[in-house]
Structure 1
Amino acid sequence: MEQYAEREDLNALVEWAKARGCYLSPKIFLVGSENGSTAVAVNDLEPGEEVISCSNDAVLGPVHARKLFGDELADSHPELIRPLTKLALVHELLLGKDSYWNDYIRTLPREDELSVPMYFSDSDLQWLRGTNMENEVDVKKEHYKDEFEKLIQVIGSRVDTTKYTLDLYIWSSAIFKSRCFPGRLMYPNEPEDAPMLLPLIDALNHRPLNATEWNVSVRESFKIALSNATAVGEEIFNNYGAKGNEELLFGYGFCIPSNPFDTLRLKLPPTIPQQAYDEAGPEATKEPTLTLEHPLPAWLVKLFESFITQAAGLTPHSVIAVAQSADVLVQALRVKLHNLIAQAPNNEPANSRQKNAQIYREGQIAICRAAVDACMQARDDAVSSRGASLITLETITRNDPKGLIEAVAQCFLENPGDNIVDDLVEVDMEEPVLLLALAMQSPLSSDGSVTEVDDYYNQLYEQVYLPVHQTNPNLPTIQPQDLQRAGTLMANGYASRDLQGRDRYTVVAAV
C-alpha cells in the first residue's frame, strides 16, 4: 500500500499558490509519496466536485518567457518558444529565494531524484538493453545539447547567458517533459508546442481511464474536477491521456503494469521502397505502432507483401508471395522479440527505476508475441484461402502421427534436447525430413512416371530412409522415385533465414 507523509515544502507550496488565486479543496491534502508527491482525499468527494485549480498568476509558461527574453525574440523565432520557456525555469531556479516561483521550484525533483532514463545510472541502463529506449537516451541528450546551443547563440546578444548551463537545461527539459501542459489551452495565440507548468495541478499522478474534467478559462485559470466519487484516503488522480509505457517511462519516469494503452514501436528497414508504402495505403508509416488490441495493422502486411513480391520477382498475390512476405515480417518481429528476451537482466530489480524498466520490457514482449502470432495466423489464413498449405519442419514435428520425427531423432541425434527442430537443423536433417514427409504423404512410385532417379535421392533412400524405416517399421513404404518426386514438390517453396542465420525451408503444397 502507498505510504504518504506530510512535507513542509508542499505545505508552503499550497500557501504560496492560494495567495496567487489557486484553489485546493479542503477535502484533499498534498502529501509526499514514493513517487514524489500526490493528493489524497481527507473527506469524501462528490462526482463533479472541483478539487484543484491553478490561476494565471501562478503559471510558469510562455508569458513569463516573453517577459524575460522579450516579445520580439519570441515572435521572430516561434520555434524557440518551448526552449525559451524551459530556460525561464532555469532562470528562476538560479534566482533561488528571490524567485517568484521559489516555493514551487523547491518541490520539483532534482537530478538525483528524477526517475526518467535521462538520469539512469549505468546499472539502471542495463535494464533497457534490447529495447527501443536503449539508444534513445544518448539521442535525446544530443538533441537537448543542440537545442541549448542554438538557443544561447540566438539570445546571447540580448541577455547574459554565462549562468545558464547545459546540465541545468537538461534538468529543466526533464521537468517540462514530465509535468507540462499544452500552453495553448490557456494562451491560444502561442505556438502549438508552447508548454506551461501548473503548480499544484502537476502534483497529481496519472491513472489511465481515470475520469477527470479539465475546465480552462483563457488567461485566467485551469481547473480540475473529478467525474466520479472519491472516498476518504483514496489518491486523487489526473489523466494524462492514452499513453503507453514507453512514453510514460521516457517522459514521466514510471510505468503501469498491464497498461491498456501500451504500445510497441517498430522501425522498418530503410530498404523498403516508397512504392511499397504507397501501395500499402495512406496509413503506412516507417515507424508503425502496435498494440495488444491491434498487434498487426492490415497495411503492414500489405507493405511487406508489396516489398517482397517486387524484391524477389514473385507473382503478385500468389501463394508464395503471400507466404514468403509474411514470413519475412514474422522473422523481423522474432528478431525484435529475441532481443527483448535475451538481453533482459537475470537479476531482480534493485530500485524503482529498474522495476519500471522491467514493466516496460514485459509490455513490449507481450505485444511482440501477439504480433508474431497474429502475423502467422494471417499468413495461414491467406494461404488456406488460396487452397494451399505450408509444410515446414515445425509443422511436421507438431503433427507427426506416424512417428517419423521420433525415428529420425533416434537414428541421427546423439543427445536430443528440448527443441527437436533446432537439433535436426543443426545436423542438416531439415531437407531430408521434409523430403521423407512429402514422399510418405502419398507414395507415387507405382505410377511409373519416374523411371530414372538421381544419385542424391538414391543415397538419401539408403542412408536416411532405410535406417529410419528399420527403427520404425510402421512408417509408410517408399522408393527412391518417391523421394525424387518429393524433391519436385519442394521446388514449390522458398528459403528464409532464422535467428541463427540458418537457411530454413517452407514448402507450399496444394490441399
Structure 2
Amino acid sequence: MPSLDHQHSQENPQREKSGDMSLVERLVGWFKTNGGELSPDVDIAFDASSGYHCRAVRNLTSPVVAKCPLSLTVSHLNLDHTQSLVPHVESPLAKCMGRIPNNVLVYLLLVEQRLHTDPSCLKWQPYIDCLPEPSLMMTPLWFDKEDMQCLAGTNLARETSVKLDKLSEEWNQAKEVMESLDIDITIFSFEWFRWAATIISSRAFISTHIIPGQETFPILFPVVDILNHSPTAKVEWDFHPFEDFTLKILSHDEVRPGDEVYNNYAPKQNDELLLGYGFCIPDNPVEQFAIKMRLPPQIEQAARSMKMFEPSNIPFGMDTSFVTAELNEEPEYLRPKGHPFGRYENRLPFFRAIPPRIVHTFFIQALTNLNLNPADNQPDSIPPRVIFETLLLTYEAIDKRSQTLRLSLNRSSPFSNNKQKYAIIYRDGQAKILHAIRDELKAVFNTLRIHDGVPQRPVIISTTEALARLTAEFPSYAAHFKAGLEGQYGVDVSNWSRYSADIAVLEAGEQPAELSVWNLLLCLFLVLYQKDNSGTTREYDGFRQAIFGWVEYLLSQTPLPTNVTDMDAEALQDFVLGLTGSEAEAERAYTWADEVVDKFAFPLVEEVQGEEVQRIYMYLQIGSDDGGVNGWMYQDHEA
C-alpha cells in the first residue's frame, strides 16, 4: 500500500537521495525475475512530493497495472516450514512459531530482513531497500510531544496511547520468548519493532482472499503496495486464491502519460488513515465521529429485566438490530447531514445523527431520571417529556464532548511538519462533525424557547421569561418578588437583558443562584394557583391561565409531598407576598418547588449581551403528556 515517505521526504533529504534509479531498477528487475508482472505502460518513480509511486509513461493499454505472485509475498508463513504455500526463509525466528502471535512474527521478520548482514538470508532485499526509514514514519506512533498536542481532545489521542502500550507489551513478550529460545536479539529494538508494525499497518493486505480457509493474517505484496491512495480511483483487486493478486485500474483509458496511477484502499475515515498510513484527506466525505457508551451495569441489568431490550420495546421507530448484535469494543459513529452512508432510521429527525444504541441508552437513562415505569410508555407514543429528557441527555453528552474539542481558530503560523498538518486536518474534521450535530440538537431547544406571547405548546424558559410573565399577569406580586431579588442578590430587574446577564453569573452557595430563584418562583406560582378558586375548569387561552396550566402539569408530574423540608417560612415573605396559612403549608410548597427544580431544571448556554452564559431552564407544558401540541418532536429543526 502507500509509501509513507511520500508525505515527509522534504524533511529528510538523505532519503530522497537514496531514491535513485538503481534502487528502482533493482526492485523492478527482482520483481519481474521472480514472477511478478508490471505493466509496460507504467514505471516506478520517486520524487520529493510522492515518494516511491507508480506513474504512467504512456496511455494505458490494459487495466492491469501489477501482478504479484503469492511466492513473493511476506508474512509469518515464510517462517513456517510445515507449509508449502510460500517459500521458506532460513531464520532462528522459525523456532517462535506458535509461541509468538503471527502478526508479531512478521514484524520481527521484517526487522531481521532490514538489519541482517548475511546476504544469503535476505529474500526480499530490493523490496526492503525501498521501504521508508523510521525517521520518515508519519503515523501518530511516531509523534513527539508537540505533534501530539495537535491531537488533543480527539479520540485518536487516546487510541494512539493504547496502541503504543499494546506494541510495547507485544515487544516485551516477544523478547522474552526469543531469549528463552537463545535467539540473538542484538539487532532488535523497540524502535525497529515499531517501524515494522507501521510498515504492516500502512502496506499490508489481509490474507482472506489470497489464502481462503485460514485464520486471517497480514500479508505484504511487493510493488503492488507502492501505489498511493486516492479515494476517487476506480480499481479492482483481483485475487486468484493460492496464486497471485492483480491490481487493475478500471478507468485506465482516462490515465494520461505522466499521471500518477493510484490505488484505492476503500472508503476510510481520517483516524484510520492517519493511524494506519500517516496521512489524511481534507474534507473526507466519509468522516464520522466515533463514540462509545454503555449504561451502568445496574441500570442495564434492570432495563433488561423490564424487557427494554426487546425489539418490540425499542422506541422512535429505530432499527432494532443493535439489540441482538454482539456488544464489543468497536465504536459507533455520529453522522453529519449528507453523509454517503446515510443517517440512522428514526421518526424524530434530531436523533438521526445518533446511532440507535446510543439513543436507546439515553432513553433508558431518561426513564430512570424521571422515575417512570417503562411499561407505562408505549414505544409508538412516547410522551414529550420523556422525549425531551432523552434529547437533553444526548445534547449534554455531546456538548460536554465538544468542550474538549473546540472548533479551531484560523492559524497564523505554518505547521512545523506534516505530522502536525495531517493531525490538524483530522482534528478539525472531527470537531466540525461534533459541533454540527451539537448545533442540530441546540436548534430544537431554540424552537422550544419562548420570549413573549401565550405558549400553545411545550416550552423551555429561563427565570427571565418566567418573571416577565409574572409581571404581565400579577404586577403587584411581581414587584414584591423583584424587590426581594434585588435585596437578596443585588440584581437589577428593571431591564431583562441586564438581569439575564447578572443572574447567569451569580452563585448561591455551591450552585447557580438561578436555581434558587426558580425554587422561589415555583413556590409563588403554586401559592397563586392555590389562592385562585381552585377546582374550577380553566380554559388556557391567556397568559394567567398558562401559568396555572404549567402548575397543574408540574403537579401531575410531581405531586405535593407528604414529608416537608424544615425551612424558615418567614423568609418566603420576602418573595411571596400574601402567603397565608400554616408554616407546614409553606414548608410543603417550598419542598414541592425544590423537587420540581431538581427534576425539571437544566443548564443551557445562551447568548446574553454578546456573551455566552449558562442559564437554568425549565421544561413546561400545558395539559396532559399526550404527544405535545404541534408535534414539535417530529419537525426537522434547522441548525
TM-score bracket for the superposition, by shorter chain length: 0.7 to 0.9
Distance 1:446 1:88 in 2: 76
Does the 8 Å contact 1:177/1:251 carry over to 2? yes
1:159 deviates by 5.7
Q: Which amino acid aligns with 1:233?
A: G
Determine if the alignment matches structure 1 residue 443 to structure 2 residue 544: yes
SS where residue 496 of structure 1 aligns?
strand
With over 3 angstroms needed to count, the CA separation of the structure-2 counterparts of 1:140 and 1:445, relative to structure 1, is: closer
In the other structure, the counterpart of 1:246 is 271
Residue 53 of structure 2 aligns to a residue whose secondary structure is strand
AA matched with 2:44: L
- Report the secondary structure of 2:458's partner residue: strand
Name the structure 2 match of 1:333.
Answer: 398
Match of 2:600 in 1: 494
Matched, 1:19 2:36: no
Deviation at 1:168, TM superposition (A): 1.5
Segment drifting more, 142-151 vs 82-91:
142-151
- Partners of 1:240 and 1:207 in 2: how far apart? 8
Contact 1:62 1:183 in 2 (8 A): no
* 3-state SS, counterpart of residue 130 of structure 2: coil
Q: Distance in 2 between matches of 1:150 and 1:497?
A: 50
1:426: which partner in 2?
Answer: 505
Q: Residue 243 of structure 1: CA displacement?
A: 1.1
C-alpha distance after superposition, 1:374-402 (max 9, x if no partner): 5456889999xxx95231349969x99x9
1:224 aligns with 2:208: no
CA distance in 1, matches of 2:151, 2:424: 8
In structure 2, give the amino acid aligned to 1:111: P
Letter in 2 for 1:80: P
Question: Is contact 2:501-2:613 (8 Å) kept?
Answer: no
Structure 1 position 301, deviation (Å):
1.4
**Aligned mate of 1:391, from 452, 460, 465:** 460
Provide the C-alpha distance between the structure 2 equivalents of 1:144 and 1:496, rounded to a whole number of angstroms. 44
TM superposition shift of 1:94 = 1.6
Q: How far apart are 1:247 and its partner, in Å?
A: 0.8
Superimposed CA distance per residue, residues 446-490 of structure 1 (whole angstroms, 9 cap, x where no aligned partner)? 99xx9xxx977875589xxxxxxxxxxxxxxxxxxxxx9xx7997
- Structure 2 distance, partners of 1:29, 1:445, is 78
Q: CA deviation at 1:112?
A: 1.2
Write out aligned runs for 1:264-275 (5 A). 264-268=289-293, 271=296, 273-275=299-301
Post-superposition offset of 1:245:
0.5
TM-score, scaled relative to structure 2: 0.63
- The 2-side partners of 1:489 and 1:95 are apart by 74
Question: Which residue number in structure 1 is paired with residue 555 of structure 2?
Answer: none
Query: Could you tell me whether the CA contact under 8 Å between 2:227 and 2:263 is conserved in 1?
Result: yes
- Distance 1:358-1:446 versus aligned 2 partners, 3 A rule: closer
Equivalences for 1:356-367 in 2 at 5 Å? Answer: 356-367=422-433
Equivalent residue, structure 1, for 2:618: 506
Counterparts of 2:271 and 2:246, CA distance in 1: 28
| Amino acid of the structure 1 residue aligned with 2:404 | N
Question: CA shift at 1:508, angstroms?
Answer: 2.6
Could you list the runs of 5+ residues in structure 1 that have no partner in the other structure?
463-483
After TM superposition, give the deviation of residue 126 of structure 1 in Å.
0.8
Work out whether residues 178 and 185 of structure 2, in 8 Å CA contact, stay in contact via their aligned partners in 1. no
**Secondary structure at 1:238's aligned position in 2?**
coil
Aligned to 1:471: none
Secondary structure at the residue paired with 2:67?
strand
1:130 alignment partner AA: G
1:214 aligned to which of 224, 237, 252:
237
Question: What is the alpha-carbon distance in structure 1 between the residues aligned to residue 157 and residue 110 of structure 2?
Answer: 29
Q: TM-score, normalised by structure 1?
A: 0.77
CA shift at 1:296, angstroms? 1.3
Which residue identity is paired with 1:258?
A: D
C-alpha displacement at 1:422, in angstroms? Answer: 6.7
Give 2:436's aligned amino acid.
A
* 1:60 alignment partner in structure 2: 74
8 Å contact kept, 1:52–1:201: yes
5+ residue gaps, structure 2 = 1-6, 11-15, 81-87, 315-319, 344-352, 375-381, 450-455, 473-485, 507-511, 529-540, 552-568, 578-589, 606-611, 623-628, 630-639
Calculate the aligned-residue CA RMSD, in Å: 4.6
Distance 2:209 2:35 in 1: 18
**Contact preservation (8 Å) 1:115, 1:253:** yes
CA positional deviation for 1:73: 5.5
Question: CA separation in 2, counterparts of 1:34 and 1:11?
Answer: 20
* Structure-to-structure mapping, 1:54-133, within 5 angstroms: 54-66=68-80, 67=88, 68=91, 74=97, 76=98, 80-96=101-117, 98=119, 99-133=122-156
Q: Aligned pair count? A: 469
% same residue: 23
SS of residue paired to 1:135: helix
Could you tell me how far 1:304 is from its partner in structure 2?
0.8
- Where do residues 135-284 of structure 1 align in structure 2 (5 Å cutoff)? 135-158=158-181, 160-163=183-186, 164-192=188-216, 194-228=217-251, 229-268=254-293, 271=296, 273-275=299-301, 279=309, 281-283=320-322
Cα displacement (A) at 1:297:
1.9
Amino acid across the alignment from 1:303: T
Aligned mate of 2:372, from 314, 318, 341: 314
AA partner of residue 333 (structure 2): T
1:289 matched to which residue of 2? 333
Partner amino acid, structure 1, of 2:75: G
Structure-to-structure mapping, 1:23-38, within 5 angstroms: 23-32=37-46, 33-38=48-53
Q: How many angstroms apart in 2 are the aligned matches of 1:225 and 1:394? A: 66
Shift of 1:312: 4.6
Moved more, 358-367 or 158-167: 158-167
Rounded to whole Å, the distance in 1 between the matches of 2:249 and 2:403 is: 43
CA distance in 2, matches of 1:377, 1:206: 38
Letter in 1 for 2:429: G
| Offset of residue 97 of structure 1 | 7.1
Specify the SS of the correspondent of 2:116: helix
Q: Is the 8 A contact 1:413 1:423 kept in 2?
A: no
Q: Alignment partner of 2:266: what SS?
A: coil
What whole-Å deviation, never above 9, does each CA across 1:55-93 have from its counterpart, x for those lacking one? Answer: 22321113213244687864x45x711111121111111
Q: Look up the SS of the partner of 2:107 in the other structure.
A: helix
